[in-house]
Amino acid sequence: MDPAFLTIAELDRLYDRHELSPVEVTRALLDRTAAYDGRLHSFIRVTPEVALAEARAAETELMAGQRRGPLHGVPYALKDIVETAGIPTTGHSKLCQDHVPAQDAHLVTLLKAAGAVLMGKLATWEFALGGPSWDLPWPPALNPWNLDHLPGGSSSGAGAAVAAGFVPGAIGTDTGGSIRGPAAVCGIAGLKPTYGRVSRRGVFANTFSMDHCGPLTRSVEDIALMMGVIAGSDPEDPGSEDVPVPDYRAALDGNLNGLRLGLVERWYQGDGVHPDLAPAIAAAVEVLRGLGATVEPVALSSLRDYTDCKTTISTVELYAIHEPDLKARPQDFGRILRNRVLPGALIRAEDYAQALRWRTALAREQAQALVHCDALLTAAALGVAERADPNPPDGLVRVPSITMPFSVGGLPAIAIPCGFSRAENLPLSLQIAAAPMAEATVLRIGEAYQRATDWHRRHPALA
C-alpha cells in the first residue's frame, strides 16, 4: 500500500488494525521526498535519522498495545521557524543558518509526547515574511500542482509538502494568512486557530500580537486530530488563553442543520479576482445550504482597511524585532524581507498606536457580525497560485489580502479546497471563520463540506 496520500485518520485506523506500520510509512515518505523534493524544494532539511528513530519507537509501543493517540507514529514536518532542540532552525535566512536551538518549541514538545514522527524542517519565506526570494541560502519552494507556480507563503514548504504527499500533516504559522494562503493555492486544508489557542513559545516572532501556529493537512478531519494535540494553554506564552480544549473530532457530525452562515461576498468581487472564484464559492454555498445551513450576506469593512491596519502593526513590530541586524548587517537579509521591514523604521509611534486602536474597532465589527451568525464564509485567496517569477513586483501593501481580516480579528479561520480554475487547473479555496475559540464550529462546517465533495481527494501528479 502506497501511503503517500493516506490521511492521518486513515493511518490511525490502519495502525490500529496493524495493517501498516510507522516504520513502513516513514520509509516510504522519506523515499518519496528524496525522489521528488529536489524539484519542489519544500524541505530545507529532511531529518531521516530522527524520523526513523521516532518511527521505530512508535512501532514498538504500538505493537505492545501502548497507543498514545491518533498522531502516534504519524509523520509530520515543521515550518523552519519552529525551534527544534539540536536541529537547525533557520527561518530560511542567512542570519540564522547556523542557529541550533537548545530547546523545542512548546508545540513540538506536545507533538513528541503524542508520538508523532518528525520528518524535517520546511521552507518558509524569510522569517515568515520575505518571499518568495531567490537570494537566500535555499531556493523557494514550488507548487506541486505546477512547478512553474509558487505554493504561496509564508508556510510555503508546508503547503507544498502536504499537497505533494511527502507528509500527511505539517505545522505552519499565520500572521496575515501564511497558513491559509499556502493551503488555498496548494489545494489542502489549513487552519489559523484563535489567537492564544496554540502556544507561540519557541517560534520565531513575526508580529507578536498576530502570530498564530496551526496545522496544514489534506482533510479537515486531520486538522481536528492535530489540533487535539497542539491546542491548549501555555502559561509561558503571554498571549496564550486558558480555555478548555474540546474534542474537535467529536464535533465532526456532518450535520449543519440550523447553522447560520454569513457570506462576505464583497471581499472577492472586483478587479484582480480570478473569474472562476465567485462561481466556485457560489457552488460551495449551495452545498452548505444543502447540508442544512442558512446563508445570508454580511457586510464588513473593506479588505483595504483590514490590510492597512494589519500591515501597519506588523511592519512596526517586525522592525523592532530585526532592528539590530538591519542596522549592523542589512545586506544579509533577502531583498524582499529587507524592503518589507525597513519601512517600519519610518512609521511614527502615533501611526502604530492609531492602527492598534483601529484594530479594536475592526475586530468589534466582526464580533458584532458573529452575534447574528455562527460563522463567516468568503474566499481564501483572490486567485490561483502565482507564477514563480524571480523579480515580481512586491504586492504586499498594494494588493489587499483576503486572509488579513481574520488575522486582525484573531478569529479561527480555515481554508479548504472548493474547485479548480479552468484555464490553469489550479486549486481554488473557501475560507470559513467563526467566533474566538469556536474552532469546533469551523471544523464542523469544513468537514461536512468535505463529506459532500471530493476536491480534497484530488492530488498532483509529480512523476
Partner 1 sequence: MRQDHSHLPPSTPEQIRAMARNAGLDLPEELMRQLIEAWPSYEAMIRRIPRHLPRDAEPAHTYRPLRLVRT
| Grid cell listed for 97 | 543558518
| Grid cell listed for 201 | 513559545
Q: What are phi and psi of 157, to 5 degrees?
A: -65, -35
Shorter beta-carbon distance to partner 1: residue 33 or 312: 312
Query: What is residue 31's three-state secondary structure?
Result: helix
Active-site residue, 79 included: yes
The reply to whether 339 sits near partner 1 by the rule CB under 8 A is yes
Within residues 202-221, the interface with partner 1 by CB under 8 A covers 209
The reply to whether 335 sits near partner 1 by the rule CB under 8 A is yes
Catalytic residue among 42, 154, 401, 407: 154
Q: Is 67 exposed, middle or buried (0-12, 13-18, 19+ CB in 10 A)?
A: middle
Piece of 22-30, 115-123, 167-175, 236-244 that binds partner 1 (CB under 8 A): 236-244
> What distance in Å separates the CA atoms of residue 283 and residue 226, rounded to the nearest whole number?
29
DSSP code, position 213: E
The reply to whether 312 sits near partner 1 by the rule CB under 8 A is yes
Contacts for 120 with CB less than 8 Å, ≥ 6 apart: 33, 43, 44, 45, 46, 47, 51, 77, 78
The reply to whether 345 sits near partner 1 by the rule CB under 8 A is yes
Contact yes or no for 224/447 (Cβ under 8 A): yes
Shorter beta-carbon distance to partner 1: residue 166 or 306: 306
Active-site residue, 178 included: yes
Shorter beta-carbon distance to partner 1: residue 146 or 233: 233
The reply to whether 394 sits near partner 1 by the rule CB under 8 A is yes
* Closest to 168 in 3D by CA, of 20, 388, 287: 20
CA 350 to chain centre: 32
Piece of 58-66, 111-119, 292-300, 333-341 that binds partner 1 (CB under 8 A): 333-341
> What distance in Å separates the CA atoms of residue 40 and residue 314, rounded to the nearest whole number?
29
The reply to whether 299 sits near partner 1 by the rule CB under 8 A is no
Contact yes or no for 167/29 (Cβ under 8 A): yes
The reply to whether 338 sits near partner 1 by the rule CB under 8 A is yes
- Binding residue (CB under 8 A) for partner 1 from 29, 129, 363, 445: 363
The reply to whether 356 sits near partner 1 by the rule CB under 8 A is yes
Which residues are near partner 1 by CB under 8 A? 209, 235-238, 304-305, 308-309, 311-313, 315, 326-327, 330-331, 335, 338-340, 342-343, 345-348, 351, 353-361, 363, 394, 397-398
Q: Which residues are the active-site residues? A: 79, 154, 178
